Amino acid sequence: MATIIIVDDHKDIVDTLVKIVVKMGHTAVTAGNGEEFLSKVSDAKPDLALLDVMMPGLTTKQILNGLKEKNLGNLKVILVTVVRFADEEKKALMSEHNIVDYVTKPFKVHELMESIKRQL
């Protein structure tokens, strides 16, 4: 069983992701924005983060840099987002940070579950 932190500002998406994570037998911790995520992540000690890209407050890069500052840069991150990055931007972001996958909303549940399984 793993601990997965879910970071998204839309409650319905958080609720859906929690159901998926729990159905897979894992523990879910939630955060509604980047600031809340960074305040919870050290204590939660998650094995994986499901991170939305477009949220109020901190940018994705600020959130990922915050992980590095907390020495949590090794936390595996799956981006779950409606944002479609250009290939070069996606490669740069993934190589600079510990982003292990990229799932586009609306996502297919089985594809997200497979992505989570691959990372754990």
What are the sequence ranges of the domains in the chain?
3-119
12 token code pair:
């319905």
Residues of the chain above pLDDT 90, percent: 67
3-119, which class in CATH?
A: alpha beta
Residues of the chain above pLDDT 70, percent: 95
Residue 14 has pLDDT above 90, yes or no: yes
Position 48 scores a pLDDT of: 97
**Mind listing the pLDDT tens digit for each residue in 53-109?**
889 999 888 998 898 888 876 799 999 988 766 677 767 777 777 889 889 899 999
pTM of the model: 0.91
Residue whose C-alpha is closest to residue 112's, from 120, 104, 63, 43: 104
